[in-house]
């Protein structure tokens, strides 16, 4: 036996390509039935690059991965597992994987409205090839008297989401109206049940709209902590024209957008879409006036099969616009170095790919990894927005700078962002402490008198200055709303500004208005200055608090029951 | 075009055919739209009391309409469930049909079962499906067969058919090169297996292949049963770095041609020299 149980969490010790599938499944079963907290030991099994999948036939790899994923229904679904689950829903065509992902979502501590659309995508991915599935045990005794299918598992999860899935109710109703006669009896009944469950659930969890991208980004960062492209400088790569060159000669000097694919990939949501997306990225770069400033490349996982000619014909057929800065590459020898440099999410059976993730990387002008977009197909516009800041580091300035590690590069970017975000806080404080009445002025003068500046007189003409400062502050908050933490900080500061203006002595309104005014103004500015993830953590905290408070007051949970079914 | 649209088009094309339809075709067409009829056939497969003939007939009928039946589409999970149940049927004809149908659909459960049989080391007569058939069924999915397993079977085949199937599905990659070359060079191996190899390996390691081809042509002569395949392999080499070796090998073949059988001369001329000459002109 190659696995053992250690303490409360069962750890996958030496699960590798030689471990029989049954033993891997037995390990998963132990975690599933074990004490709480076992989810962490299942996480490594979600990665396609885990050695357990090395040299496994694709079908067996799918079954093992799916079996591990479905187990999160029992163990609870950690945030770090979510990208894998959503990836399966978005781009997997195996009913077993879609069903496993749908089951895993039932392990979320709370349903999230934004995962509904992923479940709908999965419906359309598998609905022409729905199959019976069972997760009760790995080696199922067929035929089963009663069984679920990929589709029925998805619909059941949506049903359990209840009101949280209300956003996708029209999609389900459309499915029911238009395509009901194309579904199996099992799937149709599950669909109708899901529609009823969502309609009947009057509660709707008002979860923030921006949590999911944060969770995905954080999970992606944690997955790719050790990746870096820089060490590949001298590796030989060959482009679609057959030209051989060193890695560094293409991936240094300008920022680059790099995706991985292979021409034999039979999944239209993965490699084909990735290549189409790169063309869209190329178009976006052009619209943004960045043509010639950023390189775009696609590298094959399968250099043995994908010759230069194969790359050219594949790219041409998909309108990939080849030019000096836009190319496809193969790595004739030493692809394992690329796999290791980027921690690529790919595994092989022999020399053939048996599973891979969707992966797109941004490299800065030195060839260092600056950002990665993993598992979910990236929006070309977002990719271009993310690459734009990398243009500021020109190769000339880099030539006099010692090579720096990826964390310090990231830190450089962070410093710039922090400076930008702090500016509105400073402005907020400036407004807050600006003397807005003769009494304030007198107080300041009494303090400043010590320094001999007490003779500056108060002037009502300072009022336009404070109005100007308030307006500038609000303008900045409004402009940054889309890029940072939404309009909430803006409205908060607007309210604060209103209170402050109402408190000026000439209007004759109560002077205490200045206190909530200052509080709101400073809170708004501070919230805007928070990083996207901190802001969302805060939101999540309050949302959770409100949820628990509601539960305590009313004595019933919002939404339908969640978590493992008693019957399982 | 979606799969559904394709199926519907196919069905309407058959219905609109000008040719008069025989009774069997009419029955199948009727079955294609008959959800209840399809449900009954699935019940026949699941029913332990029905005879093997009835089950085989039911599986064949479902297979016959599977490409264009809108009714079967809604019953597909039930059909797959029933066929998975027949993977361990006592009757081998039913078992083979169940595996063949499921592997054609790339069903992971059937693939995994077949693969575990291939890896089990069971005696051939104890296996659910003969090795050659299992390889052939799994070979419908290019990612279902591990190269290491195929190499092992090719080196220790339980029978000739298994060797041929193992070679047919073996990836032409560096890891398989030595095994394939060894099989190619051993005359006692069936020609069906050996004849596939030159074209499979000619680009994996061109100099090694050319060297083996030269040696075989010289030692075994151009009247050897593998000579035409070796010539095809030489003609198929495209890697430029192998060019001096290719020229040398071609020169050797030209020398051997004077004493070659007419069939080899014609073939070698056509694939090795006429193309080059027309290119030179």
Integer Cα distance of B167 and B143 in angstroms: 16
Whole-number pLDDT of residue A484? 61
Cβ burial of A183 (10 Å; 0-12, 13-18, 19+) is buried
In this structure, is the dihedral angle defined by the CA atoms of residues A25, A31, A32 and A33, taken in order, positive or negative? positive
Whole-number pLDDT of residue A510? 78
Residue range B110-136: average pLDDT? 94
pLDDT in tens, B253-271: 888 888 888 888 888 888 7
Position A416 pLDDT exceeds 70: no
Whole-number pLDDT of residue A469? 83
CB contact under 8 A, A129 and B4: no
Residues B163 and B177 placed together within one structural domain of the fold: no
Token pair recorded at residue A546: 């409100």
In this structure, is the dihedral angle defined by the CA atoms of residues A474, A477, A482 and A488, taken in order, positive or negative? negative
Residues B195 and B280 placed together within one structural domain of the fold: yes
Residues B96 and B200 placed together within one structural domain of the fold: no
Residues B159 and B264 placed together within one structural domain of the fold: no
- The H or E element containing residue A373 is strand A369-374
Q: Which of residues 146-165 of A touch B (CB under 8 A)?
A: 147, 149
Greater pLDDT, A463 or B168: B168
Whole-number pLDDT of residue B273? 78
Q: In degrees rounded to 5, what are phi and psi of residue A448?
A: -70, -20
pLDDT in tens, A299-345: 999 998 899 999 999 999 999 999 999 999 999 999 999 999 998 99
Greater pLDDT, A516 or A105: A105
Residues B151 and B198 placed together within one structural domain of the fold: no
In a domain, B146, yes or no: yes
Residue range A85-110: average pLDDT? 95
Q: Under CATH, what is the fold of the domain A224-401?
A: Glutaredoxin (3.40.30)
Position B239 pLDDT exceeds 80: no
Domain region containing B189: 172-281
Q: In degrees rounded to 5, what are phi and psi of residue B194?
A: -65, -35
pLDDT category of residue B207 using cuts at 50, 70 and 90 = confident
Whole-number pLDDT of residue B1? 65
Residues 6+ apart with CB under 8 A from A517: A496, A497, A498, A499, A500, A502, A503
Whole-number pLDDT of residue A561? 38
Integer Cα distance of A544 and B250 in angstroms: 78
**Which of B128, B150, B171 is the last residue in one of the domains?**
B171
CB contact under 8 A, B115 and A57: yes
pLDDT in tens, A269-284: 999 999 999 999 999 9
DSSP for A255-283, please give it.
Answer: -EEEEEE-TT---IIIIIHHHHHHHHHHH
Residues of B in contact with A349 (CB under 8 A): 143, 146-147
Greater pLDDT, A383 or A205: A383
Interface of B with A (CB under 8 A): 2-4, 46, 70, 73-78, 80-82, 84-85, 87, 105-109, 111-112, 115-116, 138, 141-148, 171, 173-175
**Which of B146, B171, B196 is the last residue in one of the domains?**
B171
Greater pLDDT, B135 or A451: B135
C-beta separation of B32 from B69 below 8 A? yes
Greater pLDDT, B29 or B111: B111
C-beta separation of A86 from A376 below 8 A? yes
Whole-prediction pTM value? Answer: 0.73
C-beta separation of A322 from A329 below 8 A? no
Q: Among all residues of chain B, which has the CA nearest to that of A143?
A: B85
Residue range B226-240: average pLDDT? 85
Greater pLDDT, B183 or A442: B183
**Torsion angle of C-alpha atoms B215, B217, B221, B227, degrees rounded to 10:** 150
**Which of B171, B186, B217 is the last residue in one of the domains?**
B171
Per DSSP, the three-state class of A149 is strand
Residues B98 and B192 placed together within one structural domain of the fold: no
Whole-number pLDDT of residue A564? 39
pLDDT category of residue A131 using cuts at 50, 70 and 90 = very high
Residues B176 and B268 placed together within one structural domain of the fold: yes
pLDDT category of residue B240 using cuts at 50, 70 and 90 = low
Residues B97 and B201 placed together within one structural domain of the fold: no
Cβ burial of A192 (10 Å; 0-12, 13-18, 19+) is middle
DSSP lists the bridge partners of residue A258 as A297, A361
In a domain, B23, yes or no: no
Whole-number pLDDT of residue A1? 32
Whole-number pLDDT of residue B168? 96
Residue range A247-263: average pLDDT? 95
In a domain, B62, yes or no: no
Position A566 pLDDT exceeds 60: no
Integer Cα distance of A455 and A464 in angstroms: 22
pLDDT category of residue A86 using cuts at 50, 70 and 90 = very high
From the candidates B59, B78, B115, B143, which should be mutated to test the interface with A, based on the most A CB atoms within 10 A?
A: B143
Residue range B97-123: average pLDDT? 94
Whole-number pLDDT of residue A217? 66
Position A481 pLDDT exceeds 70: no
- Tell me the CATH number at B117: 1.25.10
Cβ burial of B51 (10 Å; 0-12, 13-18, 19+) is exposed
In a domain, B13, yes or no: no
Residues B160 and B176 placed together within one structural domain of the fold: no
Cβ burial of A555 (10 Å; 0-12, 13-18, 19+) is exposed
Residues B166 and B91 placed together within one structural domain of the fold: yes
**Torsion angle of C-alpha atoms A427, A433, A437, A441, degrees rounded to 10:** -130
CB contact under 8 A, A352 and B3: no
CB contact under 8 A, B112 and A350: no
Residue range B230-234: average pLDDT? 90
In a domain, B278, yes or no: yes
In a domain, B54, yes or no: no
Q: How many CB atoms lie within 10 A of CB B45?
A: 25
In a domain, B179, yes or no: yes
Per DSSP, the three-state class of B1 is coil
Residues B166 and B180 placed together within one structural domain of the fold: no
Q: How many domains are there within chain B?
A: 2
pLDDT category of residue A170 using cuts at 50, 70 and 90 = very high
CA A436 to chain centre: 45
Position B111 pLDDT exceeds 90: yes
Residues B124 and B181 placed together within one structural domain of the fold: no
In a domain, B2, yes or no: no
Query: A456 to each of A107, A414, A433, A446, A506, how far by Cα in Å?
Result: 66, 41, 17, 11, 21
């Amino acid at each position: 036996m190659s696995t053992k149980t250690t303490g409360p969490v069962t750890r996958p010790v030496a699960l590798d390509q030689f471990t029989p599938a049954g033993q891997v499944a037995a390990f998963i079963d132990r975690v599933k039935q074990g004490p709480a907290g076992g989810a962490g030991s299942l996480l490594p099994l979600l990665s396609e690059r885990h050695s357990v999948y090395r040299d496994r036939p694709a079908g067996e790899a799918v079954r093992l991965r799916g079996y591990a994923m479905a187990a999160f229904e029992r163990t609870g679904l950690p945030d770090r597992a979510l990208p894998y689950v959503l990836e399966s829903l978005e781009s997997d065509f195996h009913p077993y994987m879609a069903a496993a992902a749908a089951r895993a979502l039932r392990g979320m501590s709370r349903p999230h409205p934004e995962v509904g659309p992923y479940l709908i995508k999965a419906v359309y991915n598998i609905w022409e090839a729905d199959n019976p599935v069972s997760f009760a045990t790995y080696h199922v005794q067929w035929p089963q008297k009663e069984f679920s299918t990929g589709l029925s598992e998805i619909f059941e999860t949506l049903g359990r989401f209840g009101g949280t899935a209300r956003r996708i109710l029209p999609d389900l109703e459309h499915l029911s109206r238009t395509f009901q006669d194309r579904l199996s009896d099992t799937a149709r009944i599950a669909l109708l049940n899901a529609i009823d469950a969502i309609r009947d659930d009057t509660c709707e969890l008002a979860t923030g709209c921006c949590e999911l991208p944060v969770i995905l980004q954080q999970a992606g960062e944690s997955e790719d902590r050790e990746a870096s492209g820089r060490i590949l400088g001298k590796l030989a790569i060959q482009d679609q024209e057959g030209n051989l060159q060193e890695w560094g000669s293409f991936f240094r000097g300008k920022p680059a957008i790099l995706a991985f694919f292979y021409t034999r990939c039979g999944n239209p949501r993965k490699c084909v879409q990735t290549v189409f997306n790169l063309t869209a990225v190329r178009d976006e770069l052009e619209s943004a006036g960045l043509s010639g400033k950023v390189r775009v490349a696609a590298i094959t996982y399968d250099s043995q099969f994908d010759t230069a000619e194969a790359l050219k014909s594949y790219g041409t057929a998909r309108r990939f616009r080849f030019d000096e800065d836009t190319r496809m590459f193969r790595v004739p020898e030493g692809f394992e170095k690329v796999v290791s440099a980027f921690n690529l999410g790919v595994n092989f059976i022999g020399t053939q790919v048996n599973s891979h993730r969707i992966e797109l990387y941004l490299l800065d002008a030195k060839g260092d990894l600056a950002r990665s977009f993993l598992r979910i197909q990236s929006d070309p516009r977002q990719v271009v927005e993310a690459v734009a800041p990398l243009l500021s580091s020109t190769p000339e300035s880099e030539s006099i700078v010692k090579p720096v590690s990826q964390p310090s590069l990231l830190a450089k970017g962070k410093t710039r962002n922090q400076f930008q975000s702090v500016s509105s806080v400073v402005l907020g404080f400036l407004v807050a402490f600006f003397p807005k009445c003769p009494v304030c002025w007198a107080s300041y003068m009494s303090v400043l008198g010590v320094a001999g500046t007490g003779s500056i007189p108060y002037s009502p003409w300072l009022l336009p200055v404070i109005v100007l400062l308030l307006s500038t502050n609000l303008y900045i908050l409004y402009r940054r709303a889309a890029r940072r933490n939404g309009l909430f900080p803006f409205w908060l500061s607007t309210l604060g500004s209103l209170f402050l203006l109402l408190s000026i002595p000439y209007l004759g309104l109560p002077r205490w208005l200045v206190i909530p005014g200052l509080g709101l103004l400073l809170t708004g500015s501070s919230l805007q200055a928070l990083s996207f993830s901190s802001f969302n953590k805060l939101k999540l905290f309050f949302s959770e608090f409100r949820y628990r408070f509601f539960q305590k007051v009313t004595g019933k949970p919002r939404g339908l029951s969640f978590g493992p079914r008693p019957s399982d | 075009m979606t799969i559904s649209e394709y199926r519907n088009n196919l069905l309407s094309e058959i219905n609109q055919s000008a040719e008069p339809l025989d009774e069997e075709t009419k029955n199948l067409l009727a079955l294609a739209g008959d959800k209840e009829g399809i449900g009954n056939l699935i019940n026949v497969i699941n029913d332990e009391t029905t005879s093997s003939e009835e089950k085989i007939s039911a599986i064949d009928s479902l297979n016959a309409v599977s490409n264009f039946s809108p009714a079967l589409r809604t019953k597909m999970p039930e059909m797959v469930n029933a066929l998975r149940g027949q993977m361990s049927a006592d009757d081998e004809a039913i078992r083979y049909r169940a595996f063949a149908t499921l592997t054609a659909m790339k069903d992971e459960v059937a693939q995994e079962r077949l693969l575990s049989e291939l890896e089990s080391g069971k005696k051939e007569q104890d296996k659910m499906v003969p090795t050659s058939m299992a390889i052939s069924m799994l070979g419908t999915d290019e990612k279902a067969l591990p190269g290491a397993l195929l190499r092992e079977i090719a080196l220790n085949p339980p029978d000739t058919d298994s060797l041929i199937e193992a070679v047919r599905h073996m990836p032409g990659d560096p890891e398989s090169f030595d095994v394939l070359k060894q099989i190619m060079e051993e005359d006692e191996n069936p020609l069906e297996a050996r004849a596939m190899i030159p074209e499979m390996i000619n680009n994996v390691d061109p100099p090694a292949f050319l060297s083996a081809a030269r040696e075989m042509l010289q030692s075994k002569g151009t009247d050897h049963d593998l000579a035409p395949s070796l010539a095809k392999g030489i003609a198929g080499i495209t890697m430029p770095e192998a060019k001096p070796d290719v020229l040398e090998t071609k020169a050797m073949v030209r020398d051997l041609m004077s004493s070659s059988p007419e069939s080899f001369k014609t073939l070698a001329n056509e694939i090795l020299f006429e193309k080059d000459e027309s290119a030179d002109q």
